[in-house]
Structure 1
Amino acid sequence: MSDLTRTPSTPNPEPAEQRSRTRRSIAEKIGDLGQTRIGALLLLIATLAAIIWANVASGSYATLWETHLTVGVGDLQLDFTLHALVNDALMAIFFFTVGLEVRREFAIGELTSWSRAMVPVVAAVAGLAVPALLFVLIAAGSGYEAAWGIVISTDTAFLVGALALIGPRVPGRLRVFLLTLAVVDDIGALSIIALVYTENFNPLPLLVAAAGLAGVYFTRYLRGGRGPVYATLAIIVWLAFLASGVHPTLAGVAIALLVPVYRPDRRDVEHALDLARTFRQSPNTQYARAAANSLRESISINERLQSAYAPYVAYVILPLFALANAGVVLSPEILAGAMTSALTWGIVVGLVVGKFLGVFGSAAILRLLRLGEFGPGLTLDRIAGGAALCGIGFTISLFIVDLAIDDPAAQNQARVGVLAASVLAFIIATVIFRVSDAVHPDVDSGQTLMRRVDPQRDHVFGAADAPFTIVEYGDFQCGFCLKASGSIQEVHDQLGDRLRYVWRHAPLTTVHPNALAGAEAAEAASLQGKFFDFERGLFADQENQRPSDIIRLARELGLDVPKFERDLMSAEVTGRVQDDMLDAEAMGITSVPTLFINGRRHTGPYDAQSLIRALEQSEQEPQPAAPAR
């Protein structure tokens, strides 16, 4: 066997020093929930404000939203109520951001790999079908069976915000599951709006829309000035959808699906950084413009637009939508009517019971049949809590109420059902998560390796039947991981084939800016059978791991560089690293190196002799089973 690293063992650093440098939660890299929490809070405040306003001064509430606005030139005029402006125009921007996310997930996200996406996709489809079926069964004979679209969709903003408030301590993998499910859920809801709730269809304007969409596609090839062109074409497409009878919000989705998305090219990013350094050395407007343009162009238009529009959608558009649509009058007569209304009960049962049965039931069946990937932390009790949260249908449910029901009294009953279902879903999810935490306290969290070593998946050095196993969660830019690798090499020198060593990724990107790139590069190298060779190269030169350095190392190792660069951009590589990071989060790993000796977390020094003593001691103890719930 070749050496694990080229680096000899060095003394183990003081634990306090290590903790002071690396005490950063890996959960921070999974995503910042601040914007989501604030957006969900504003949505809730706007909902309560709408209900209070509609009940205290119902006349002024209705009068305001029925105010007419006229926009146009000469004989070409558009007449909107303020309510229609919110629902038809501003919500087109909301659906545009939904379309951007759908496009991204299919291009470079979770939906690129069927094995990774299978569980949330199946759960989402069942979560669309079961609620609709229950609604139709309960609402049969009411005359509103066609309003089944109200119960099909989950409100992503409330879902993620609620998960952040009441979810389990380490919700990373559950959050990925629910976000992937929400994307598929949105696809289903948008398709149903287009196919079921379109009236007075006129196909001729869609020819104009098709020409505009073609223009949107080819705009990517312009060298500059793309923003005004996109904006102009978007308005034309929106007007064409409006004239065709297809709900104009779907124009936002159609445009978003044509906006290019790609992973940042590392060499483009490095070129942008070089320009930024040039500007710092010689500040002038030319270098500033070049550096800014280069940085901007290194990120796909899709992701730039998501970042640009997300605050407006979260802080303005969705709260305005709630204010305009959630104003249900809660008079004794209306509440009494809702209590006996098959429409109201169909919505409540469809969202609360149907979503839970569809999502949880399908996931439980897949788990029983051992189909799809359930990573550590994605347990059935946590899926149950997430499935209950899926009953919060708010935004698109209220949106479809306006499309599917014409009678104002029935609309009020439907809105009561949507609001009641959302409150019930939140309460039930809270109870499930609290009971789960009480029944399964995480007393052993992080002390036992949650995912068993799998030679088909893991990067394993040593004999498969070795009696001793060290699993390391590490970071290629971490100096302590470098020292640990030297210690492990000494252990291997003494134990030989009795030791099996496994590397898993836990890059601390808040401390080491190139750590994630190094992890992905090692995964790309592993696709050509060179993982440990690449690992040694990264450890040998920790200070130089920029994109050009990574490509140079690949060339020195004799890799197929064009294939290596393609693999660097692949969802398979990024997904593999993210899986390890989610595993680390589930075990509460916040510093590296974190070592597991025969399945148990190692504490204390990690010099060679300490590791050998820990291995020999573990031989006398029963090997722990991987946690399962």
Structure 2
Amino acid sequence: MSDNAHTSSSPLRRVFAPVRALFVSDASAGILLILVAAAAMIAANSPMADEYRELFYGKLPWTPIEKLKDLHYWINDGLMAIFFFVVGLEVKREVVSGSLADPAARRLPMLAAAAGMGVPAIVYLLVTGGGEYFNGWAIPAATDIAFAMGVLGLLGNRVPASLRLFLLTVAIVDDIGAVLVIAVFYTQGLYTEWLVASVGVVALMVALNRMRVDYFWPYILLSVVLWYCVLNSGVHATIAGVVAALTIPLKRRDGNSMLERLEHSIAPWSAYLVVPVFGFANAGVSLEGMGPEALLAPLPIAIAAGLVVGKQIGIFSVVWLADKTGFAPRPDNASWAEIWGISILCGIGFTMSIFIGGLAFPDTPLLVEEAKIGILTGSAVSAILGYIVLRMTTSHTAEECDDQGPIPQDTHPNDPLR
């Protein structure tokens, strides 16, 4: 590659460097999730089905926290706080110094993410008619970053870097929206004393930030305390992960990145341990006694329609309108067919959708199982259809698809996180 080409694409590489370095490859985390989901379905429908359910839902003989009475609670309320902590770190980095720092650059992904959450919810409500299914309106609103980026990784260097960046930023903004939805709409029975304690811990963490304390251990220790307070407050405990992450300083006093180093230390554990464990514990749906009619029940159809139809209509139409009206241009070097393919991929909602599904119907196990069927079906269709569309429509030069490159993160003079 020529020096000119290398220089022209380096801004995109700088944006991607912190994220791409978290994974062995774009495809690896997504492929792992696919394998985990398949393993969970096999386990839940095999002679080991009883052992599978007992492992995650059997009451623990002893637990240090009474509220977390089985392994499933420990995974969803405890382990997943690490996933949300990484989401918080990623959001802060992107907003402060990444792809969401420029107001002009974040117009399109923010608009697309909003439409990508709103339209699927509308499709869901239109199909179900509300009623007993109303609480599940947010299930098809989420996009799974690892899964979607994994499918893109399977396409190699066929996809322009601008589209990868667009998908990444839309998914990040989508995560912000999903966290807000969980905090506002899936919080039950608030306990004032624990909320006050949570606010006090956050205030202490903010004070440490303002005093420029740049050691990791005080923040990690207080993050655990915050998680415990939020767990008992009535707000879902995983919200503590996001809030705690936002208090982490961006830089150390010597100018080196503190937030990015912490993100790079924890994110692989989140991608290759936390999320797969969550997936294996939650994706196993027993099909015993279910006939073809189970797939045709209102809830699975509504969720699948929201993910497959709602996502692509919402995102593609908003990008088209924004470009035609001059509000925000579409991604560089991207055709409308490619933008359609990316819009379809945003319908992969595995991790966050399953998480919200469990919150939406906590007292109705059958609806939770039906929701999982809809999520798995919709995500699979979106992944396959999006891959096919992009495979058939993408054809670009190496320069247009280059989003990596040899940029030493601690030595590059223009690194925004120094």
> Residues 307 and 318 from structure 1, CA distance in 2 versus in 1: closer, same or farther, beyond 3 angstroms?
same
1:312 to 255, 263, 269: 269
Between 132-141 and 216-225, the greater mean CA deviation after superposition: 216-225
Matched, 1:63 2:54: yes
Distance 1:105 1:146 in 2: 31
1:152 to 141, 146, 164: 141
What SS does the corresponding residue of 1:110 show, helix, strand or coil? coil
> Residues 508 and 178 from structure 1, CA distance in 2 versus in 1: closer, same or farther, beyond 3 angstroms?
closer
> Residues 512 and 236 from structure 1, CA distance in 2 versus in 1: closer, same or farther, beyond 3 angstroms?
closer
Q: Kindly name which structure, 1 or 2, has the bigger radius of gyration based on alpha carbons.
A: 1
Q: Provide Cα deviations, 1:181-218, integer angstroms capped at 9, x if missing partner.
A: 11110111000101111112222211111111111122
Distance 1:219 1:360 in 2: 43
Matched, 1:410 2:367: yes
Distance 1:508 1:53 in 2: 39
CA contact (8 A) 2:279 2:351 kept: yes
Distance 1:343 1:569 in 2: 45
CA contact (8 A) 2:91 2:176 kept: yes
Q: Provide Cα deviations, 1:303-324, integer angstroms capped at 9, x if missing partner.
A: 1110110110011000000010
Tell me the residue number matched to 2:229. 240
Distance 1:91 1:508 in 2: 29
Distance 1:82 1:318 in 2: 15
CA contact (8 A) 1:154 1:391 kept: yes
> How far has the Cα of 1:34 moved from its partner?
2.5
Distance 1:49 1:418 in 2: 16
CA contact (8 A) 1:150 1:347 kept: yes
Q: Provide Cα deviations, 1:531-585, integer angstroms capped at 9, x if missing partner.
A: xxxxxxxxxxxxxxxxxxxxxxxxxxxxxxxxxxxxx959xxx9xxxxxxxxxxx
Tell me the residue number matched to 2:29. 39
5 Å matches for 1:583-598?
A: none
CA contact (8 A) 2:212 2:249 kept: no
> How far has the Cα of 1:46 moved from its partner?
1.2
| Structure with the bigger percentage of helix | 2
What SS does the corresponding residue of 1:187 show, helix, strand or coil? helix
> How far has the Cα of 1:375 moved from its partner?
4.5
Amino acid at match of 1:37: A
Tell me the residue number matched to 1:111. 100
CA contact (8 A) 2:214 2:258 kept: no
2:339 to 380, 383, 387: 383
Tell me the residue number matched to 1:230. 219
Tell me the residue number matched to 1:490. none
Tell me the residue number matched to 2:286. 329
Amino acid at match of 2:377: A
Tell me the residue number matched to 1:166. 155
What SS does the corresponding residue of 1:312 show, helix, strand or coil? helix
Amino acid at match of 1:510: P
Q: Provide Cα deviations, 1:457-487, integer angstroms capped at 9, x if missing partner.
A: xxxxxxxxxxxxxxxxxxxxxxxxxxxxxxx
> Residues 220 and 446 from structure 1, CA distance in 2 versus in 1: closer, same or farther, beyond 3 angstroms?
closer
Distance 1:225 1:510 in 2: 28
Distance 1:241 1:228 in 2: 20
Distance 2:90 2:78 in 1: 19
CA contact (8 A) 1:142 1:342 kept: no
Q: Provide Cα deviations, 1:1-38, integer angstroms capped at 9, x if missing partner.
A: xxxxxxxxxxxxxx9xx89xx9xx97876444524422
> How far has the Cα of 1:514 moved from its partner?
11
CA contact (8 A) 1:382 1:436 kept: yes
Tell me the residue number matched to 1:125. 114
Amino acid at match of 1:183: I
Amino acid at match of 2:221: T
Distance 1:413 1:205 in 2: 34
> How far has the Cα of 1:370 moved from its partner?
2.2
Tell me the residue number matched to 2:315. 359
2:127 to 138, 147, 161: 138
> How far has the Cα of 1:510 moved from its partner?
3.0
> Residues 151 and 46 from structure 1, CA distance in 2 versus in 1: closer, same or farther, beyond 3 angstroms?
same
CA contact (8 A) 1:96 1:255 kept: yes
CA contact (8 A) 2:29 2:272 kept: yes
Q: Provide Cα deviations, 1:262-302, integer angstroms capped at 9, x if missing partner.
A: 5x8xxx8xxxxxxxxxxxxxxxxxxxxxxxxxxxx543321
What SS does the corresponding residue of 2:189 show, helix, strand or coil? coil
> How far has the Cα of 1:349 moved from its partner?
0.5
Tell me the residue number matched to 1:350. 306
Tell me the residue number matched to 2:79. 90
- How many residue pairs align between the two structures? 404
> How far has the Cα of 1:513 moved from its partner?
9.5
Matched, 1:99 2:88: yes
Q: Provide Cα deviations, 1:445-466, integer angstroms capped at 9, x if missing partner.
A: 489xx9xxxxxxxxxxxxxxxx
2:246 to 248, 252, 257: 257
1:53 to 24, 29, 43: 43
Distance 2:410 2:90 in 1: 26
What SS does the corresponding residue of 1:374 show, helix, strand or coil? coil
Q: Structure 1 runs of 4+ off > 6 angstroms? A: 25-29, 222-225, 506-509, 511-515
What SS does the corresponding residue of 1:376 show, helix, strand or coil? coil
> How far has the Cα of 1:378 moved from its partner?
2.9
Q: Provide Cα deviations, 1:82-112, integer angstroms capped at 9, x if missing partner.
A: 0010000010010010011111111111222
Amino acid at match of 1:181: V
Distance 2:404 2:160 in 1: 18
> Residues 387 and 204 from structure 1, CA distance in 2 versus in 1: closer, same or farther, beyond 3 angstroms?
same
Q: Provide Cα deviations, 1:358-396, integer angstroms capped at 9, x if missing partner.
A: 111100111111221335323322211110000100001
CA contact (8 A) 1:509 1:515 kept: no
Indicate the structure whose relative CO is greater, using CA pairs within 8 Å and at least 6 residues apart: 2
Amino acid at match of 1:147: G
> How far has the Cα of 1:42 moved from its partner?
1.8
Distance 1:426 1:151 in 2: 14
> Residues 67 and 378 from structure 1, CA distance in 2 versus in 1: closer, same or farther, beyond 3 angstroms?
same
> How far has the Cα of 1:65 moved from its partner?
0.4
How much identity, in percent, do the aligned residues show? 34
Segments of 5+ residues of structure 1 without an aligned counterpart are 1-14, 269-296, 451-505, 521-567, 575-629
Q: Provide Cα deviations, 1:406-434, integer angstroms capped at 9, x if missing partner.
A: 32222211111000001100121122113
Distance 1:197 1:328 in 2: 23
Amino acid at match of 2:298: A
CA contact (8 A) 1:131 1:358 kept: yes
Between 213-222 and 382-391, the greater mean CA deviation after superposition: 213-222
Segments of 5+ residues of structure 2 without an aligned counterpart are none
Tell me the residue number matched to 2:174. 185
Distance 1:98 1:508 in 2: 22
